[in-house]
Amino acid sequence: MIRAGVIGATGYAGAELVRLLSGHPGAEVAAVSSVSFLGKPLSEVYPAYFHLCDQICVEQGEAVEQSDVVFAALPHGLSQELAAECHAKGKVFIDLGADFRLENEADYQQWYGGSFLYPELHQIAVYALPELFREKIRGKTIIANPGCYTTAVPLALFPALKNGLIEKDGILADCKSGVTGAGRGLTRNTHFAELNEGMSPYKVAVHRHTPEMEQTLSHAAGAPVRLTFVPHLLPVNRGILATCYARLKPGVTQEQLNEAYREQYKDEYFIRLLPQGREADIKNVRCSNFCDISLHADPRTNTFVAVSAIDNMVKGAAGQAIQNMNLAFGLEETAGLKLFPPAF
């Protein structure tokens, strides 16, 4: 059994990692770590885990020592030192934060206000969106796990850009997120009285996920891609709905789009291309590692609309991290993740 340590286990993504790893056939939760709840059982923080995971939250260093793979569910800026420690000790390191996602240090400085503390580790790190970069992930020891928006938007647009079916300019990503994406700490806009019965955009055109999405889409297009990204906060716990708009190249048909996506994703267990006439819905992927995609061509306005839906805590965080662990250790990629979404 692979021994897994979860750093930041009492945050939402960390708790979801524990839930999913507890049902993994080839891995076990060896240690959980938390600064805020050091010395307390995880089931005290999350009563749903009572008698299922009563492990005591330990110091970060102790969790590293007890583990073969370390998952870091931490805010940006806190993972590079931990990655260096894990690398020195021969541990696989999977970062759910942003510290290793961007290839260009100038972008990291601009959007996150930090620098690459260990450039040599960034050189060996891999950006790990499995459906797009699978072969680069196998056997790697420092893995940058994409976030929620940065999974949903590229999966929705990658085949169209790769096959030259849409214009690279003027792409719009209009996205909605469940409130768990904001983390466990309470802020004014995640307070129940502010959030309930409302929906509003936030960080319009300045969200930190923008350069990460552009980086992936530029790989698809083989040229720089810029997009306008507008996220919104939904009064639901889970889910990302990404509605992406682009201009169709002259003469491109719905069937050409359908064929490009079928070819790109034909062997992808976790991507479900929906039949024509159906639209992606966050309800249908809840608590699962699936990404549902629906494709729509509007010949009247020459517009392509791709809609993707994921669970931000699973495919957008913990589930994808476990998918990457499976690849890194040579396990069946779907191990521990073949979970049906609830029907209601």
Report the SS3 class of residue 85: helix
Give the single-character DSSP code of 244.
E
For 95-162, give the DSSP string. E-SSTTT-S-HHHHHHHHS---S-HHHHHH-EE--HHHHHHHHTT-SEEE---SHHHHHHHHHHHHHH
Q: Is 138 left (phi over 0), alpha (psi -120 to 50) or beta?
A: beta
Please say if 148 is a catalytic residue. yes
**In DSSP terms, which residues pair with 243 in a beta bridge?**
174, 307
Q: Catalytic pick from 148, 175, 244, 291? A: 148
- Spatial contact of 310 and 239, defined as CB atoms under 8 Å apart: yes
Count Cβ atoms within 10 A of the Cβ of residue 217 and give its class: 0-12 exposed, 13-18 middle, 19 or more buried. buried
Q: Distance between CA atoms of 324 and 318, rounded to whole angstroms?
A: 10
**In DSSP terms, which residues pair with 201 in a beta bridge?**
232
What amino acid positions are annotated as catalytic residues? 148
